[in-house]
């Protein structure tokens, strides 16, 4: 499975599901509670909830770049744990237009004759 | 009635068995839920249906819709039912209840050993945060 790429300017919420031996999604056992751990302090992890109220893992990047972080999700019922590799990456998706004033360059021209409004 | 055979070491099985039951006369037979517990001399239409089955060693007890348990004798005949023996009926009801609980526990154990936790990456949602100042390791 490919690593999950997490842009460093996003906090992501990922739903936790439970499946039976055949791989079909089933509700977790009654009273089941989940725990999550991160192999690196570069990625903060916690158990949260989805908008629908289901269990979820919330991942918060703490650094700008950090590849190969292992996130493990366990539960109190002893289901087979899930391990997810996460890469914290720079967000390369453009969303805004900005003018780079600091890097502007100048060329000379004659002074315009119009004095201005 | 075969009470003397119901020692704690007897094998107890509920429900239809995969293999035919061999009685002490070497006679193989199979009984499923819904089969009629037919007794010699009783018209078929009057024979009770087996709603539950419990095998204690090689003795089959079939429960009819009225909750009576019918033992299958070594001769292949059925009866008499346990309506005259509340203690025996309660004992068989308790065995059936315990077997149901064991079945439930085994199902839970199977779920524990073979069920998995999955992160649903497809349905992940995100919200913006400021880029961390720490460049990373």
| Cross-chain residue pair B125–A34, CB shorter than 8 Å | no
Which residue in B has a C-alpha nearest to residue A56's C-alpha? B119
Domain residue ranges of chain B, discontinuous segments joined by +: 3-92
Which residue in B has a C-alpha nearest to residue A12's C-alpha? B126
Q: How far is A47 from chain B (nearest CA, A)?
A: 12
| Cross-chain residue pair A12–B125, CB shorter than 8 Å | yes
Q: Is residue A116 part of a domain?
A: no
Q: Which tens digits make up the pLDDT trace of A59-105? A: 999 999 999 999 999 999 888 999 999 999 998 888 889 999 999 99
Q: Is residue A111 part of a domain?
A: no
Say what the pLDDT of residue B34 is.
Answer: 75
Q: Quick check: bond before B115 cis, omega within 30?
A: no
Q: For chain B, how many helices (H) and strands (E)?
A: 1, 8
Q: Is residue A45 part of a domain?
A: yes
Q: Band the pLDDT of B117: cuts 50, 70, 90.
A: very high
Structure tokens at B39: 């007794």
Q: What b-and-e string marks burial along B59-90, b requiring 16 or more CB atoms within 10 Å of the CB?
A: bbbbbbeeebbbbbbeeeebbebbeebeebbe
A47 touches B at CB < 8 Å: no
Question: Domain count of chain A?
Answer: 1
Q: Is residue A16 part of a domain?
A: yes
Best mutation target among A3, A73, A79 (most B Cβ atoms within 10 Å) is A79
Q: What is the CATH number of the domain that holds A62?
A: 2.60.40
In three-state secondary structure terms, A6 is: strand
Say what the pLDDT of residue B74 is.
Answer: 67
- The residue ranking higher by pLDDT, B13 or B82, is B82
Q: Please tell me the distance from the alpha carbon of residue B69 to that of residue B105, in angstroms, as a whole number.
A: 25
Question: Containing domain of residue A70, as a range?
Answer: 4-103
Of the partner residues B114, B126, B134, the one whose CB lies closest to the CB of residue A11: B126
- The residue ranking higher by pLDDT, B32 or A74, is A74
């Amino acid at each position: 499975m490919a690593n999950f790429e997490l842009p460093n300017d996003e906090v992501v919420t990922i739903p936790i599901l439970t499946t039976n031996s055949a791989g079909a999604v089933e509700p977790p056992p009654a009273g089941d509670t989940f725990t999550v751990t991160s192999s690196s302090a570069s990625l903060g992890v916690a158990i949260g909830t989805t908008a629908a109220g289901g269990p979820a893992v919330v991942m918060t990047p703490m650094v700008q770049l950090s590849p190969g972080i292992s996130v493990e999700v366990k539960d109190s019922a002893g289901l087979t744990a899930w391990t997810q590799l996460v890469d914290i990456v720079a967000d390369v998706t453009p969303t805004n237009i900005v003018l780079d004033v600091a890097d502007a360059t100048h060329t000379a021209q004659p002074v315009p004759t119009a004095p201005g409004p | 009635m075969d009470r003397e055979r119901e020692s704690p070491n007897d094998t107890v099985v509920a429900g239809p068995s995969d293999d035919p039951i061999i009685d002490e006369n070497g006679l193989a037979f199979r009984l499923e839920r819904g089969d009629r517990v037919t007794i010699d001399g009783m018209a078929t239409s009057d024979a009770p249906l087996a709603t539950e089955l419990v095998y204690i060693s090689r003795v089959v007890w079939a429960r009819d819709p009225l909750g009576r348990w019918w033992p299958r004798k070594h001769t292949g005949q059925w009866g008499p039912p346990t309506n005259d023996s509340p203690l025996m009926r309660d004992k068989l009801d308790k065995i059936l209840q315990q077997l149901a609980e064991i079945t439930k526990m085994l199902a839970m154990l199977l779920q524990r050993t073979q069920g998995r936790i999955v992160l649903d990456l497809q349905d992940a949602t995100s919200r913006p945060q400021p880029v961390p100042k720490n460049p990373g390791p």
